[in-house]
Amino acid sequence: MRFNERLRVLVVDDEPTICRALTIALGRAGYDVVAVEAGEQAHTLLRAEHFDFLVLDLRIPDLRGDVLFELAASIQPHLRYRTLFTTGDTSERALELIEACGCKALHKPFELQELTGELAKMAPRVRDATA
């Protein structure tokens, strides 16, 4: 990674307003953001482009978030440790799925600063690992 290159984030959420809000907030925080509203669309992008982080809704209609997470980690292994789940589902099953993936989760509604803060915690490790 070149010094001035922006870290790339793939946002996957079936709610268009959340995609727009996260694109704006993460862009202002200095990230290069691609947002999609479907799991299959995200899967296609993951096969074609590099992303430093994945922000992933657990409940997307066409492909569950935990399934997409496993696909993403098989294509880009670093995403196993650089994925942040978002969800409005607080059921025991949802919590078990997230825990099985071993990733941090933010429960909707969350503050945009929470999300950017979690990515910032991971960012120095990304820069160190790719420098």
Query: In terms of residue numbers, what domain contains 22?
Result: 8-126
CA distance 118 to 93: 23
Query: Looking at the domain assignment, is residue 131 inside a domain?
Result: no
Query: Looking at the domain assignment, is residue 2 inside a domain?
Result: no
Query: Looking at the domain assignment, is residue 3 inside a domain?
Result: no
**pLDDT over threshold 70, residue 26:** yes
pLDDT in tens, 50-102: 999 999 999 998 988 999 999 999 999 999 999 999 999 888 988 898 888 88
Query: Looking at the domain assignment, is residue 77 inside a domain?
Result: yes
Q: Which residue has the tokens 């997409």?
A: 68
What's the domain count of the chain?
1
Kindly report the CATH number assigned to the domain that includes residue 68. 3.40.50.2300
CA distance 33 to 63: 21
- pTM of whole model > 0.75? yes
Query: Looking at the domain assignment, is residue 1 inside a domain?
Result: no
* 3-class secondary-structure state, position 37: coil
